[in-house]
Amino acid sequence: MQALYDVPAPAKLNLFLHVVGKRPDGYHLLESVFALIDWADTLHFEKRSDGQLLRHDRGDALPADDLCLRAARALQRESGCALGADIHIEKRLPAGAGMGGGSSDAASTLLALNRLWGLHWPRARLLPLGLSLGADVPFFLGGSNAFVEGVGEILHPIALPAQTLAVLKPATSIGTKEIFSSPLLQRSKSVAIVAGFPAHNSSEDKTRSDWLASVIQGWGRNDLQAAAEHHSTEVSQALRLLQDRFGNSRMTGSGSAVFARVSGEKASQDAGMSNQAMATNLEDLPPGWLGKICRSLDVHPLREWTED
């Protein structure tokens, strides 16, 4: 058994996000397609024999309810494992972006420690533990792009065509609870069914690519976007910037990050750009903004680390 691991924790984008109801406990019911992208944190784990769980990269700035440590403690408690771990995170994903950074870190923590400690839990056993940590965690444990229902725990794996996507994160960060409690929160009738998606049924990449373009450029919407734009004019500014540059734009999750599909010749020209070059290409981003050209992922990099 290895004593250490370095693992990725990739971000996700919501290609659309419909709010379709609300549970008695106050959680909103959603429909969305979650798509993995190659913008990722890197987590480093070293096994400890004394049972301690320590995170070393943020010092006193680490919040008491750090999701990564909560995930590690939950797995240690539920498994009865006497081992511990030293944890370092090379943080690249912005907070308050709607890209699932904290949830992805938590999922990669569960996957890495499951292997590091020799637990060999199957994915089905990790999923409820992930849901107890956050609604997006099960998606990152699932390992595939997915049509998502419920509060995020009902996953229907789907195949998506390879895509190049421009992702823009304004300086502002937005709290999920603040957006979901906004009077401007929109609601959709449940119009999407996973069996009707070309991405699910079609074996022809062009058909699926055309469908994905129509999703991002016109079909559906993000029901949280109006509330986020009211909360921050930077979200509106970022959406306009991508619309002008790529002809489409949409917010992901509860924001503040937005994205656009980069197609055809533009994709080949822009895909290899650095963040600095991307900023220049997006006409001098304001201070504190991040811009990155990303590639979609077919599956989570740790997809094979658990059994179905």
Asked if residue 307 belongs to a domain, the reply is: no
Q: Are residues 285 and 184 in the same domain?
A: yes
Which residues of the chain, if any, have pLDDT below 70? 1, 59-64, 189-219, 264-283
Would you list which residues are annotated within the binding site for ATP? 94-104
Q: Are residues 115 and 196 in the same domain?
A: no
Q: What pLDDT score was predicted for residue 183?
A: 76
Q: Are residues 35 and 173 in the same domain?
A: no
Q: What is the pTM of this model?
A: 0.87
**189 part of the active site:** no
Domains: count for the chain? 2
Q: Are residues 204 and 261 in the same domain?
A: yes
Q: What pLDDT score was predicted for residue 202?
A: 45
Domain boundary among the residues 143, 158, 173 is at 158
Q: Find the catalytic residue in 136, 223, 266, 270.
A: 136
Q: What pLDDT score was predicted for residue 148?
A: 92
Half-sphere exposure of 97 (CA within 13 A, CB side): 26
Residues counted in the chain:
308
Beta bridge partners of 165: 261, 294
Q: Are residues 107 and 126 in the same domain?
A: yes
Please give the span between the terminal C-alpha atoms of the chain, in angstroms, as a whole number. Answer: 21
CATH code of 249's domain: 3.30.70.890
Q: Find the catalytic residue in 12, 169, 266, 292.
A: 12
Q: Are residues 210 and 263 in the same domain?
A: yes
Q: Are residues 212 and 231 in the same domain?
A: yes
Asked if residue 279 belongs to a domain, the reply is: yes
CA 140 from chain centre, in angstroms, equals: 8
Residue-wise pLDDT tens digits, 52-103: 999 988 766 666 678 999 999 999 999 999 999 999 999 999 999 999 999 9
Q: What pLDDT score was predicted for residue 114?
A: 98
The answer to whether the beta carbons of residues 35 and 146 sit under 8 Å apart is no
Q: Are residues 151 and 168 in the same domain?
A: no
Asked if residue 301 belongs to a domain, the reply is: no
- E strand intervals along 171-253: 250-251
Q: Are residues 83 and 183 in the same domain?
A: no
Q: What pLDDT score was predicted for residue 200?
A: 46
Instruction: Determine the structural domain holding residue 250 and report its residue range.
Output: 164-295
Asked if residue 303 belongs to a domain, the reply is: no
Q: Are residues 95 and 171 in the same domain?
A: no
**91 part of the active site:** no
CATH code of 42's domain: 3.30.230.10
- In the structure encoding, which two tokens stand for residue 132, read together? 């107890």
Domain boundary among the residues 158, 190, 216 is at 158
Asked if residue 146 belongs to a domain, the reply is: yes
